[in-house]
């Protein structure tokens, strides 16, 4: 039986035992599915490992390469054993996944073959951000298809949804009792692509709403991770807006902030005892025209007793054939 079939059966069997619980979110109420009988959190003594990667683009030359090789796992073949070994793996999905839709005014338009999701599954990705400037390249149909293909593959989409409540609700994954919450935002989409009460879309950032979302996530989880898709492309240092917003989100209660979009690695830092990676750069992409765009960064975070105790950075390299691999040794962010 295929993985997605098992996932659907489990959801159907579990449905009768689950109910809807309301959480206050600013002036509104967020409705999330939760068990009718609260279970005590019992944390395993074994550490939990979280992995974070940068931009994944499975269209254009990367898609052509996979199609020609008849191998939808090709870009991840040299790193899947690492990403899949993490308890939870996260990245930014810099493409729609669909065969439908119409180009929506994009200069560079990304739409991946649905078969490409097999590569994401093989690499063990659990949570993918859809809050980025390419998720609306082919409009609402392709956006809806992307959410659907991820869902049936047991990959959680964060930073977008069928309405604003779904888009803003944190994705919470529990591993051995440790509850990890994910949120994602971008400032690189027009308002017409933002999620509303009656419209699907992505999370377009609003500082006050983001702080409210973080507060909600803080009440639901032990560790809060926030992803931002912003910054200046091809600049190796972060800008003032990134710093102000990322610091504000840490001050609001986030434990770790990861950035994407610049297509190059930017600086990392400790701020108020928490961790910030301003840009993880590319992870799977076809920008082979410079050393900087062929290199990326992964973060590996260790969670013990419900808190992050250690974060390391792991350099990666993208080959001319669009395969990503580790390039060098990991170092701890002090």
Please say if the pLDDT value at position 3 is more than 70. Answer: no
Share of the chain above pLDDT 70, in %: 87
Chain centre to alpha carbon of residue 126 = 9
The per-residue pLDDT for 131 is 98
Greater confidence, 106 or 122? 122
Residue 152 has pLDDT above 60, yes or no: yes
Task: Provide the pLDDT confidence category of residue 65 given band limits of 50, 70 and 90.
Answer: very high
pLDDT band at 105 (very low <50, low <70, confident <90, very high): confident
* Chain Cα centroid distance, residue 27: 27
- Cβ contact 314:299 at 8 Å: yes
- For residue 22, what pLDDT is reported? 32
- Give the mean pLDDT of the chain: 90
What pLDDT is recorded for position 199?
A: 97
State how beta strands 48-56 and 171-175 pair: unpaired
DSSP state of 100: -
For residue 142, count other CB atoms closer than 10 A to its CB.
25
Mean predicted confidence (pLDDT) in 183-199: 97
Which distant-in-sequence residues (6+ apart) come within 8 Å of 61 by Cβ? Answer: 286, 322
Cα–Cα dist 155/147, whole Å: 9
Residue-wise pLDDT tens digits, 276-314: 999 999 999 999 999 999 999 999 999 999 999 999 999
Query: Of the ranges 1-10, 15-24, 36-45, 159-168, which is most confident?
Result: 159-168
**The predicted structure's pLDDT at residue 40:** 58
- Measured at the CA of 266, the angle between CA 131 and CA 208, to 5 degrees, comes to 45
Q: How far apart are CA 146 and CA 117, in angstroms?
A: 10
Mean pLDDT of 105-125: 96
Q: In 3D, which of 172, 174, 149 has the Cα closest to residue 99? A: 149
pLDDT reading at 253 higher than 80: yes
Mean pLDDT, residues 186-195 taken together: 97
Is the pLDDT at 34 greater than 70? The verdict is no
Q: Helices (H), strands (E): how many in the chain?
A: 8, 21
User: For the residues 161-182, what does the mean pLDDT come to?
Assistant: 98
Longest dimension (CA), the chain: 55
**In this predicted structure, what is the pLDDT of residue 33?**
36
* pLDDT surpassing 70 at residue 19: no
Element (DSSP H or E) covering residue 329: none
pLDDT for 254: 98
Mean pLDDT of 12-34: 34
Residue 9 has pLDDT above 70, yes or no: no
Structure confidence at residue 44 (pLDDT): 75
Average pLDDT estimate for 57-69: 98
Average pLDDT over residues 88-102: 98
pLDDT of 13 strictly over 70: no
Task: Say how many Å lie between the first and final Cα of the chain, rounded.
Answer: 45
**46-332: CATH number:** 3.60.21.10
Share of the chain above pLDDT 90, in %: 85
pLDDT at residue 41 in the model: 65
For the chain, domain boundaries: 46-332
Instruction: Say how far apart CA 48 and CA 176 lie, in whole Å.
Output: 8
Alpha carbon distances (Å) from 116 to 26, 86, 193, 241, 327 = 38, 21, 24, 34, 24
């Amino acid at each position: 039986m295929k993985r997605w079939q098992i996932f659907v059966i489990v959801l159907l069997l579990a449905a009768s035992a689950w109910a809807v619980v309301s959480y206050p979110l600013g002036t509104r109420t967020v409705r999330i599915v939760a068990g009718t009988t609260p279970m005590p959190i019992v944390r395993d003594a074994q550490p939990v490992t979280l992995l974070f990667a940068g931009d994944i683009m499975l269209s254009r030359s990367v898609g052509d390469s996979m199609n020609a090789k008849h191998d939808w796992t090709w870009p991840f073949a040299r790193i899947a054993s690492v990403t899949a070994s993490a308890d939870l793996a996260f990245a930014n999905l810099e493409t729609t996944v669909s065969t439908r839709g119409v180009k929506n005014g994009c200069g560079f338009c990304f739409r991946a073959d649905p078969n490409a999701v097999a590569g994401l599954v093989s690499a063990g990705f659990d949570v993918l951000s859809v809050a980025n400037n390419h998720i609306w390249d082919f409009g609402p149909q392709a956006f809806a298809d992307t959410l659907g293909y991820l869902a049936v593959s047991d990959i959680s989409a964060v930073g977008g949804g069928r309405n604003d409540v779904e888009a803003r609700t944190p994705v919470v994954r529990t591993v051995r009792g440790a509850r990890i919450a994910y949120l994602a935002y971008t400032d690189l989409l027009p308002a017409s692509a933002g999620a509303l009460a009656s419209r699907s879309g992505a999370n377009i950032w609003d500082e006050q709403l983001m702080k409210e979302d973080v507060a909600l996530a803080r009440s639901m989880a032990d560790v809060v991770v926030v992803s931002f898709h912003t910054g200046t492309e091809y600049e190796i240092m972060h800008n003032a807006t990134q710093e102000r917003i990322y610091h504000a989100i840490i001050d609001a209660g986030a434990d770790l902030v990861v950035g994407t979009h610049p297509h190059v690695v930017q600086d990392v830092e400790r701020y108020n005892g928490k961790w910030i990676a301003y840009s993880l750069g590319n992870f799977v992409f076809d920008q082979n025209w410079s050393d900087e765009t062929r290199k990326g960064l992964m973060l590996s975070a260790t969670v013990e007793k419900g808190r992050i105790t250690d974060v390391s950075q792991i350099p990666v390299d993208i080959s001319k054939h669009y395969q990503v691999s580790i390039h060098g040794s990991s170092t701890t962010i002090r």
